[in-house]
Structure 1
């Protein structure tokens, strides 16, 4: 791959003055597959200044011009999907089938959504004699994670461009290769210079410089709640808008009238997808006590059916965790669950049988989990399902809401009205009823310490707009 040691600034590939590098590791093999150059505060400043200069003209482009630009990006992106999928699979361990079927195509959904919103969005509204206008927010700093990398890049960059903003992206250093391809795509699509800029680096250096830069108007961050707190603190001194999509510990409520086997199987497979490395994963499964042991057996059987192996192989349901650090973190949580007395139904510490190399974890199911256990309260971000019994619907809702997080929730019931009622009581930004899929046009985001602001669709687009009121826009009618 070209440009692995370059940054994309002001429409060109450039080198940093820094000699610091970072190896990109294939988590399936633990081998180095690329080396990137790590940026400095000076690189960030250069990129921000390019974005600031470009904003002067790009913010004045018409709706039609930006629609045409997004359609050009869409055309090139479609052609490069196989390259993006291969990069994601090799750098963060998504099975190649998942990378081709969901990871890489997720970018298309956000492009389509941004185009649809832009075509119809009412930028001006006359209220009496006052005109309410919505204008491009400014220069945006984006910090994106490694778990669904192109998804998080596109769901920020596409609406930002649609709104007439310019941006500087710092992708995760764990999974930077797809971001390089993304910059190539935007360059080929004819994105004006300075509108999109890419600087690699770590959080304490490049991330902090970007967040605290006085000429960055908005920061959009996706990552852990711990890191999100630091981002907010660094941004506070310059009073910039901060949008955050943070951690989650989502509850999956299986009601007593649900199809237990189907609901438990679906929830378990969902938990293991992407090796459990999804912020909205249904990691806490609440099951009626009367059906609990049956549910535990279904979860055990389902987890044991998940085929684990190298991400490059087709037919693999679960690849490795993204890095050595992530592997050690997940192992620590599994060991904590055992120590605190949770019942290991299947899985547990260590690698799956036959995989002695790579950052592979065992699909793990814990039963008899108490709400106060560490594995029930903290985000593990690995293939670990916690099962908790309940006696009443009210108790299940109370336990589901007893968390610092509030990103997503799941409800299964044969009675749709009942499922809707339970969904309305969950303190989460999203709820899936009976396994409903995510909607790229719907708001994505959470309550409480799962973040603030929203991404995706019209709500995500509006994050990149400022509101202006022009009074006296239309003279008041004279009285007769």
Structure 2
């Protein structure tokens, strides 16, 4: 397998001693233990990072609490200036960060570069919000003369727990709005992709953030994540990940009734009507499921195709899937990389076997490749036909490059089946009929509905799910609500 040589900066970072960021200091885990960082394309260890314990999480929370009183008093302009500096440093070190993303997550370098660009624009976006957190004046009906005004105030110490599929942007999705609104934060990145978050921590330090404002504790979710969720001095948990873990975090947060926002799993329907622009729909459906190896919560993993075009459309999608070149993400010819871990690869292959057991037909993929890719965590892009919406592969989140193609007769049937899921994160609709587009979008139970596009994300547009796909909305001005609380002040002038 051809793997291009890494940048000197990337090699230097991988060679550093294993350290995490607590109170402005880089330190090992309290017990000195580490976890391996594995290149999922080769299965080989590329570095190590600290395996934090409860004491590390506790020290990070105490550092964040000490820093909070000073940080919330920093002027909005200066908070924004620091976030702008962080964004500039991310951009300046973008190629190194992209290589680290590919090495840890497996996604192709061209995808990793897009992630870096998103991280820069996201951080800049929330840097701009620091000076725009406005309150209201409210006319009261009380007898006498009163002034009532409101202010937005930070929550305090935020714990951000993130998944491995976007190892740079996910920590920033939590940190940037939290910091912009005057909170301090303890980040716990996924144990499957922690190096990028640690490099991000170095850039926050270089930008000049005060000690304790940003803390990064690496380690296992059941240890560090659980300690943060149960900690009585954490004011807010913000989490992106599986619905199962989200439920556990809610139970843990009940101890001190800390606020919780959750961006959880999905089983998103992508509905293609016969009157759609089928060439555009094919490209959109393909990217909607196979982008990021299918390891994206919004993946259009349930494909509903109107019956009269079903056979041809699904056959062409399978042809496109078979043509995908798998390989190491650093190879410029690679179009799809491996899954993030051996466990995730085996989980996805387990669902492929379940689909076969339920008599679904794999028109493409359906296995792990052999040869030079055998040691990596690859799964061939898989298109299942002969699926009904009650099969396991159509009801449970697979989080991999597997799509279930289901025919439908008319719009009411597609909507009914599309909504027949415990999830409600996203949906896609492909049609040239604007009335049908509006009616279908209105009827779908999803936090985001894309029409004649898919995975069209923007920093200003709200993101979050219905049903078991989460609580709250990230992005845009809506994301500020997750990290602030309203204070009402009433003054009697009588």
Please, what TM-score do these two structures have when normalized by structure 1? 0.96
**Is 1:105 matched up with 2:123?**
no
**Is 1:411 matched up with 2:429?**
yes
**Is 1:88 matched up with 2:74?**
no
**Is 1:149 matched up with 2:164?**
no
For residues 344-359 of structure 1, what are the structure 2 equivalents within 5 Å?
344-351=362-369, 355-359=373-377
| 1:52 equivalent among 52, 65, 75 | 65
For residues 198-237 of structure 1, what are the structure 2 equivalents within 5 Å?
198-237=216-255
| 1:455 equivalent among 468, 474, 477 | 474
User: Who is 2:5 aligned against?
Assistant: none
User: Who is 2:306 aligned against?
Assistant: 288
CA deviation profile, 1:130-161 (whole Å, cap 9, x unmatched): 11111011100011110111111111100111
SS of the equivalent of 1:120 reads: coil
Q: Alpha-carbon deviation of 1:121?
A: 3.1
SS of the equivalent of 1:337 reads: helix
User: Who is 2:407 aligned against?
Assistant: 389
Tell whether the 8 Å contact from 1:3 to 1:13 is kept in structure 2 after alignment: no
SS of the equivalent of 1:386 reads: strand
SS of the equivalent of 1:191 reads: coil
Q: 1: distance between equivalents of 2:236 and 2:368?
A: 42
User: Who is 2:337 aligned against?
Assistant: 319
**Is 1:339 matched up with 2:351?**
no
User: Who is 2:8 aligned against?
Assistant: none
Q: Alpha-carbon deviation of 1:270?
A: 2.6
* Structure 2 unaligned regions, length at least 5: 1-12, 140-146
Summarize the Cα distance change of 1:151–1:414 in structure 2 as closer, same or farther, 3 Å threshold: same
For residues 229-378 of structure 1, what are the structure 2 equivalents within 5 Å?
229-351=247-369, 355-378=373-396
When structure 1 is superposed on structure 2, of 431-440 and 204-213 the one drifting more is 431-440
Q: Alpha-carbon deviation of 1:206?
A: 0.7
RMSD value, Cα: 1.4
Tell whether the 8 Å contact from 2:368 to 2:374 is kept in structure 1 after alignment: no
| 1:442 equivalent among 450, 453, 461 | 461
Tell whether the 8 Å contact from 2:268 to 2:426 is kept in structure 1 after alignment: yes
Q: 2: distance between equivalents of 1:184 and 1:386?
A: 42
For residues 60-79 of structure 1, what are the structure 2 equivalents within 5 Å?
60-79=73-92
Q: 1: distance between equivalents of 2:483 and 2:40?
A: 35
Q: 2: distance between equivalents of 1:118 and 1:75?
A: 17
Q: 2: distance between equivalents of 1:435 and 1:188?
A: 39
**Is 1:163 matched up with 2:181?**
yes
Tell whether the 8 Å contact from 1:269 to 1:302 is kept in structure 2 after alignment: no
Tell whether the 8 Å contact from 1:110 to 1:457 is kept in structure 2 after alignment: no
User: Who is 2:439 aligned against?
Assistant: 421
CA deviation profile, 1:188-242 (whole Å, cap 9, x unmatched): 0001111000111111111111111111000001111111111111111110001
When structure 1 is superposed on structure 2, of 271-280 and 255-264 the one drifting more is 255-264
Tell whether the 8 Å contact from 2:191 to 2:221 is kept in structure 1 after alignment: no
Summarize the Cα distance change of 1:369–1:186 in structure 2 as closer, same or farther, 3 Å threshold: same
* Structure 1 unaligned regions, length at least 5: none
Tell whether the 8 Å contact from 1:377 to 1:403 is kept in structure 2 after alignment: yes
When structure 1 is superposed on structure 2, of 16-25 and 34-43 the one drifting more is 16-25
Please, what TM-score do these two structures have when normalized by structure 2? 0.93
SS of the equivalent of 2:136 reads: strand
CA deviation profile, 1:378-411 (whole Å, cap 9, x unmatched): 0001100110000110110010010000111111
SS of the equivalent of 1:219 reads: strand
SS of the equivalent of 2:130 reads: helix
Instruction: Count residues with an aligned counterpart.
Output: 473
User: Who is 1:116 aligned against?
Assistant: 128
SS of the equivalent of 2:47 reads: strand
Q: 1: distance between equivalents of 2:338 and 2:23?
A: 36
For residues 25-44 of structure 1, what are the structure 2 equivalents within 5 Å?
25-44=38-57
Q: 1: distance between equivalents of 2:17 and 2:171?
A: 18
Q: 1: distance between equivalents of 2:40 and 2:368?
A: 15
SS of the equivalent of 2:219 reads: coil
CA deviation profile, 1:326-372 (whole Å, cap 9, x unmatched): 11000000010011011111111232676322111111000121011
Q: 2: distance between equivalents of 1:116 and 1:107?
A: 14
CA deviation profile, 1:277-323 (whole Å, cap 9, x unmatched): 00001111111111111111111111112111111101211000111
User: Who is 2:152 aligned against?
Assistant: 134
Q: Alpha-carbon deviation of 1:16?
A: 2.3
User: Who is 1:14 aligned against?
Assistant: 27
When structure 1 is superposed on structure 2, of 106-115 and 145-154 the one drifting more is 106-115
User: Who is 2:18 aligned against?
Assistant: 5
Q: Alpha-carbon deviation of 1:325?
A: 0.2
